[in-house]
Structure 1
Amino acid sequence: MSMPKTPSGSSLIGLDIAGSFFAPIQDAAPPSPTKRHTIKISIIGTGNVGMAIAQTILTQDLADELTLVDALPDKLRGEMLDLQHAAAFLPRTTISASTDFSATAASDLCIVTAGARQNPGESRLNLLHRNVNLFRKIIPPLVEYSPDAILLIVSNPVDILTYVAWKLSGFPSNRVIGSGTNLDSSRFRFLIADHLDVNAQDVQAYIIGEHGDSSVALWSSISIGGVPILSFLEKRQIPYEKATLENIHKEVINCAYEVIKLKGYTSWAIGYSVANLARSILRDQRRIHPVSVLAKGFHDIDGGDVFLSLPAQLGRGGLLGVINVPITDEEAERLRESAKTILEVQAQLGV
């Protein structure tokens, strides 16, 4: 006698939990109709960040084809050969490189790390203008050769450049994502775990907003092993100082500056962070990541189209939904200030 199938948990509860847990994405495009069994990732920019991402993607067996694109042919070929020579130690992946964007054709995921470096005495706004001009040369050909791809922007300032990529691509917003505060949140979890002497994987904590100095730490929603930490401390009448919390957040912001001061650049952590995002997208993991998304309309953000990091669900269709995470009035106000800061800069770009 065969046993009847057990209905799913949502059927037992009788509620559409998923439907109320996530805010829907407006005008979202469906996942790529491609039925190929191979996965192709293209990385634009083979600097320290681009190559750290490439190396991590290879070791984690995330792609069948990996294409590198850069404007410097000698360095590009050298990086390609260096990776190819490790073939005996890696899962089988076809690695290619080109200065021509046609090599990226039929990519499932295009990761953009290319960006102009700041010259001595140059203003951030002037640097941003140069990066916008660079994106005008990068984004349209990527879209032309891979019209069904998902764009993952890593170049800084990531929130503004993700907005620029979205405008230049003509893609629906769910298929243009910035790496945002995914790494900031990892640093945040590490520092909290270190402070409390627990494993970072047991810490649920998010940094949202701008990937930068105006980011917002969501203290109200931090949990350790499923226990909301601030409400736990209050119920147990365990005193804590807000200044201590703010210092941890400041340390998160300063982490990147310290690494850059010590070794000249950041690479490994962002490599793992972006590979983590690529896995969630391409393997349809539906995991929650704080990434830069079109934030207008969430938490009363208005004033124009702006990309900011919010806890979002990622899968094969790109951005699947933004989690309705409860935030305090103070956190919401800081988030709106973060949006205002970015919108003021965007208004000067003419995109």
Structure 2
Amino acid sequence: MAKLSIIGAGAVGTSCAHWAVIKNLAKEIVLIDVIPDLAKGKALDLAQSSPLFGYFGKIWGTEDFSALKDSDIVVITAGKPRQPGMSREDLLNINKEIVKSCAEKIKEFTPQSIVIVVTNPLDAMVYVAYKVTGFPKNRILGMAGVLDSARYRYFIAQALGVSPKDVQALVMGIHGDLMLPLVRLANVAGIPITELLSKAKIEEIVERTKKGGGEIVSYLKTGSAFITPGLSIIEMAEAILKDEKRVLTCSVYLEGEYGINGVFLGVPVVLGKNGIEKIIEINLESEEKNILEKCASHCKELINLLKL
């Protein structure tokens, strides 16, 4: 059994730890947060659920980053949410410093670990972690595609009145409005959704998927999604720790794949014990290629603003 460390004991980090406890995924789960006692309190609450879930490992919280030592996987959820009046550049630079600090601690205390970045703007923040740690690209990845694809699959299932388990669909590109929910490959038990839904309904689902996070924010007012994001992280972590060779969409560093270089984008990959074991390239139609190239251009704009 492994050690899982989560930096950031906010809603997403706590949800991630919660799902890890439910799945008995690691013998040791560590929550780390700079806010005094926050991680300790969240971890103790989770630990007290052990008799009910049957979790047999150790879960604890701390402000001390040396607790990262010997982690198999480190998840970075730490970061500030966007506030009213705050520009994209403002958020980018605030969270750049937070992720940079986390990455430096990871490099210092657990240089053999695999890192999953969740902080927004996601595709730029995973680039920061990659540059600061200097880890090989197979050990740095971002969580967004699993979450966006889950939303897409749910909306399709809801529209058809079928089990979400039987819906297969993926979302590529960035975690944002430019994302690419692939329509022609989406299916229900092998049946293309284009044979089951009208073009108008499919377009509605695609748009709702792109705005999936914003829809939840509009209801919550003062927060954002955390339950499914937390489980999406654990889906990736489980694939790595159990060497499952799962095909999942993750934000990974591209060096020529899909004709794109030097940015992190969400594409399908094989996840196993070595992290990203293979990047899967699928043939895209011209419109899909154009959208993916727009995603890459957007990421490059953000990278230029980072001034690393």
TM-score bracket for this pair, using the shorter chain length: over 0.9
- Tell me which structure has the larger Cα radius of gyration: 1
Q: Of residues 298, 303, 321 in structure 1, which corresponds to 2:278?
A: 321
Residue of structure 2 in register with 1:146 after alignment: 110
Q: Could you tell me how far 1:327 is from its partner in structure 2? A: 2.0
Measured in 1, the distance between the counterparts of 2:81 and 2:231 equals 22
Give ranges in structure 1 of 5+ residues lacking alignment: 1-37
Q: Could you tell me how far 1:86 is from its partner in structure 2? A: 1.7
Residue of structure 2 in register with 1:112 after alignment: 76
Aligned ranges 1:14-29 → 2 under 5 Å:
none
Measured in 1, the distance between the counterparts of 2:202 and 2:211 equals 15
TM-score by length of 1: 0.84
**Do the aligned residues in 2 keep the contact of 1:136 with 1:168 (CA within 8 Å)?**
yes
Say whether residues 1:162 and 2:119 are aligned partners: no
Number of equivalenced pairs: 305
Q: Of residues 258, 273, 286 in structure 1, which corresponds to 2:232?
A: 273
Aligned ranges 1:89-238 → 2 under 5 Å:
89=52, 90-230=54-194, 233=195
Residue of structure 2 in register with 1:77 after alignment: 40
One-letter amino acid of the counterpart of residue 58, structure 2: T
One-letter amino acid of the counterpart of residue 277, structure 1: M
Displaced runs of 4 or more, over 4 A? none
Say whether residues 1:331 and 2:296 are aligned partners: no
Q: Of residues 235, 241, 244 in structure 2, which corresponds to 1:282?
A: 241
- SS for the counterpart of 1:309 is strand
Measured in 2, the distance between the counterparts of 1:149 and 1:239 equals 44
Q: Of residues 262, 274, 292 in structure 1, which corresponds to 2:219?
A: 262
**Do the aligned residues in 1 keep the contact of 2:31 with 2:40 (CA within 8 Å)?**
no
Give ranges in structure 2 of 5+ residues lacking alignment: none
Measured in 2, the distance between the counterparts of 1:204 and 1:349 equals 36
**Do the aligned residues in 1 keep the contact of 2:28 with 2:59 (CA within 8 Å)?**
yes
TM-score by length of 2: 0.95
Say whether residues 1:66 and 2:29 are aligned partners: yes
Measured in 1, the distance between the counterparts of 2:63 and 2:198 equals 55
Measured in 2, the distance between the counterparts of 1:226 and 1:338 equals 28
Compute the RMSD of aligned alpha carbons: 1.5
**Do the aligned residues in 2 keep the contact of 1:221 with 1:326 (CA within 8 Å)?**
no
- Greater RCO (CA < 8 Å, at least 6 residues apart): 1
Question: Percent identical across equivalent pairs?
Answer: 34
Measured in 2, the distance between the counterparts of 1:246 and 1:336 equals 21
- SS for the counterpart of 2:211 is helix
Measured in 2, the distance between the counterparts of 1:140 and 1:239 equals 48
Q: Could you tell me how far 1:42 is from its partner in structure 2? A: 0.2
**Do the aligned residues in 1 keep the contact of 2:119 with 2:125 (CA within 8 Å)?**
yes
Structure 1 residues 201 and 326, CA gap change in structure 2 (3 angstroms): farther
Q: Could you tell me how far 1:332 is from its partner in structure 2? A: 1.0
**Do the aligned residues in 1 keep the contact of 2:269 with 2:276 (CA within 8 Å)?**
yes
**Do the aligned residues in 2 keep the contact of 1:44 with 1:110 (CA within 8 Å)?**
yes
**Do the aligned residues in 1 keep the contact of 2:27 with 2:56 (CA within 8 Å)?**
yes
**Do the aligned residues in 1 keep the contact of 2:113 with 2:139 (CA within 8 Å)?**
yes
Residue of structure 2 in register with 1:4 after alignment: none
Q: Of residues 268, 276, 281 in structure 2, which corresponds to 1:311?
A: 268
Q: Could you tell me how far 1:121 is from its partner in structure 2? A: 1.2
Q: Could you tell me how far 1:119 is from its partner in structure 2? A: 3.6
Measured in 2, the distance between the counterparts of 1:139 and 1:202 equals 38
